[in-house]
Chain A
Amino acid sequence: MALPASARQRRLSGRPDFYTSYTQDMALFNTAPKRRAVGVLAVGALLLPFLLTDDLLQLLATAFVAAIGAIGLNLVTGYAGQVSLGHAFFIAIGAYTAAALSGDPDDRTIGFGITFLPIWLLAAGLAAAAAGLLVAPLAVRLRGLYLAVVTLSLVFLGEHLFKEWSELTGGPGVGRPAAVPQMFGVRFDEDGEIFTGPQKLYLLMLVLLGIFAVLARNLARSGVGRAFAAVRDRDVAAAVIGVSLPRYKALAFAISSFYAGCAGALLYTVTGFFDPGSFNLLLSVQFIAMVLIGGVATISGSILGALFITLLPRLTRELPDLVPFVSAQSSGTITVFQIETTLYGLLIIVFLIVEPRGLYGIWVRVRNYWKSWPFSY
């Protein structure tokens, strides 16, 4: 018996989980609190450029780009269960494609002068996705920790390639300028009349993050996302019920590498210069940390994790003002750099032991507590 039209899309106030149609259940912002919360966040994020200083805006812009990369890694490792330690390799491919396309043709390194942002961003993503597709057959043959070590070897091979190819990268210890973000005559990394460079970059990265996040969330709740979950949970059983393993593993790697490539292209536009030695195991581990600390298999978790990890060094640098025996210089018994790295490692350990669902899991706990307050248990 079909519901009357008036009841089909009805919502009951005070009953946020009462869905009267499938589309309602599957909608992106299916409850009113979610809609309001996202609205407030969006407005808040758009207002921030007028409230924060330039260096904080630069940091946040970097955090947003890192979030794009973290979302990509979450898609392949969290949603599809394919352990990938090779994220740094795909980020590097994206970064160099973009830098080469938009670089100055008269400089020491390769450059084609195409500075129009959508072109080099897409090209970076597609180049990295192509590399991801090449790696995918390995994922079909190998599982678990073997796959992790093989993706790790990709990072080392990529490092070697980029260090040798000095016409493209400048060579280790030398580096090259990053991609030039320019759209319709507006340069995003230089100060303009109304907005300063960091303000423009922040808004650009915010908009791009929003686009990529919505795309990823849509992917996760679609059939492809469900296929990924099946591959992660029991890939043999998934193959039995008709989920084509090679196809979906390849798709997972390709999409995640696309995200990584786009993130790589944008990551260095904030500071404007990068060195081939940056794309090492440490970078891969940073993204793994973002995914695990933020929350595996959640998009908002990836964003939270990326913000957390990117802002952590800045937060620890405020420590010397609070704690007397920590020194801000590079000598002294305990330096702020050592605390930063130790904290980073300790946070990875503690989060994984105590709250394996990461920051998102903590958020869920807090939310559940307040849902039934004052009758929480």
Chain B
Amino acid sequence: MDEFLASLVRGLGTGSVYALLAVGFVIIYKAMRVISFAQPALMVTGAVLVSYLVADLSFWIAVPVAVLAVAALAMVVERLALRPMIGKPVFVISIITLGVDIVIRVVVNGFIGRDVRQVGDPWGLATLDLGGVAVQERYLAMLVVTGVVMLALFAFFRYSRTGLAMRAASFDQETAMSQGISVGSVFAVSWVIAGGLSALAGVFVGTGGGVDQQTWIIALKALPAVILGGLDSVGGAVVGGLVVGVVESLVGTYQADYAPWLGQNFAVVSPYVVMLLVLLVRPYGLFGTREVERV
């Protein structure tokens, strides 16, 4: 039972990182109807920036600075690479974000170099004892921070003017424009938020092991989370992220004993299997809206 709980907490911790990334994907999708493949690059940029800044600043200052810097980078990307493509097919824009991801990652890899860079977090590998279950502090930190960020986002979308504008634009762009909402700035704000969330996720991914040239691939696990939850549902993204994290962790703990024929490290691909199973039943994800196709 202890093992189950420990695995569950681990899963919720990593799941909250996936949730941060997934929410970024979904916010961009809701604004532009595009899946941005640039999130892995933004995530790694955030982690690497923090790893450089902690040499001079405290961790608690370096993180917000890095988040803001990556958010600014995301806005620049949106202006340069995506603004000229408004109106073009959605798939083509997604591939452009793929190109952006490749370019940014090459530059950032130059700063990572050969070794693993540490983000200098205060938790390290310290463990807490919660009622007999050994839980790593960093997982609790991830959960808490994600919860706070989600609450802030919720309040933003619900109560602020910009949030309302974004919800309106994602619902119907033309009507929003006719109401005087600048859809261009909605796009920019959505990328800024997604960039900031990815950077934060990157910092958490870097705790415990550090970040190296292969870390970017972790961000792709947010894709099953997004699809699971539904491409246009922020709440779905959070649920999807947590589910993916928990599934991965539980499969990792128990698969070697119960189903060794699935191979080593099946846990790494288990989110995709879960996604496929969910899609067979609900093709638009758990909370996504069904597309209405007009002929």
Contact = CB atoms under 8 A, between A and B. Distances in A.
Contacts of B85: 352-353
Interface in A329-371: 338, 341-342, 344-349, 352-353, 356
A144 B90 contact: yes
B264 interface: yes
B254 interface: no
Contact of A345 (B103, B224, B275, B276): B103
Given A345-B101, A352-B95, A353-B84, A145 B106 contact: no
A348 B91 contact: no
B272 A237 contact: no
Contacts of B295: 234, 236-237, 240
Contacts of B35: 145, 148-149
A160 B220 contact: no
A342 B106 contact: yes
A25 interface: no
Contact of B263 (A160, A292, A352, A356): A160
B131 interface: no
Contacts of A152: 220, 223
Interface string A216-236: 000000000000000000101
B223 A149 contact: yes
B43 to A, nearest CB: 16
A291 to B, nearest CB: 10
Contacts of B151: none
A341 B107 CA distance: 10
A1 to B, nearest CB: 39
- Chain A contact residues: helix, strand, loop or mixed: helix
Given A143-B291, A145-B35, A160 B95 contact: no
Nearest to B37: A285
Given A153-B276, A341-B102, A344-B102, A146 B227 contact: yes
- Chain B contact residues: helix, strand, loop or mixed: helix
Contacts of B34: 145
Interface in B254-282: 263-266, 268-269, 272-273, 275-276, 279-280
B100 interface: yes
Interface in B51-90: 81, 84-85, 88, 90
A26 interface: no
A142 interface: yes
B81 A349 contact: yes
B32 to A, nearest CB: 11
A346 B81 CA distance: 10
A36 B213 CA distance: 50
Contacts, number: 113
B98 interface: yes
A164 B220 contact: no
Residue among A83, A234, A349 facing the most chain B CB atoms (10 A cut-off): A349
Contacts of A159: 269
B91 A145 contact: yes
B88 A146 contact: no
A212 interface: no
A344 B268 CA distance: 28
Contacts of B124: none
B264 A164 contact: yes
A186 interface: no
A150 interface: yes
B293 interface: yes
B153 interface: no
A317 to B, nearest CB: 16
Given A288-B95, A352-B85, A157 B272 contact: yes
A308 B191 CA distance: 32
B88 A356 contact: yes
Interface in A156-210: 156-157, 159-161, 163-164
Closest 6 CB pairs of A and B: A345-B102, A164-B263, A348-B99, A345-B103, A153-B272, A349-B99
Interface of A: 83, 138, 141-146, 148-150, 152-153, 156-157, 159-161, 163-164, 234, 236-237, 240, 281, 285, 288-289, 292, 338, 341-342, 344-349, 352-353, 356
Interface of B: 29, 34-35, 81, 84-85, 88, 90-92, 94-96, 98-103, 106-107, 109-110, 220, 223-224, 226-227, 231, 263-266, 268-269, 272-273, 275-276, 279-280, 283-284, 291, 293, 295
10 contacts: A144-B91, A145-B91, A150-B275, A160-B263, A160-B266, A292-B95, A346-B103, A348-B96, A352-B96, A353-B85
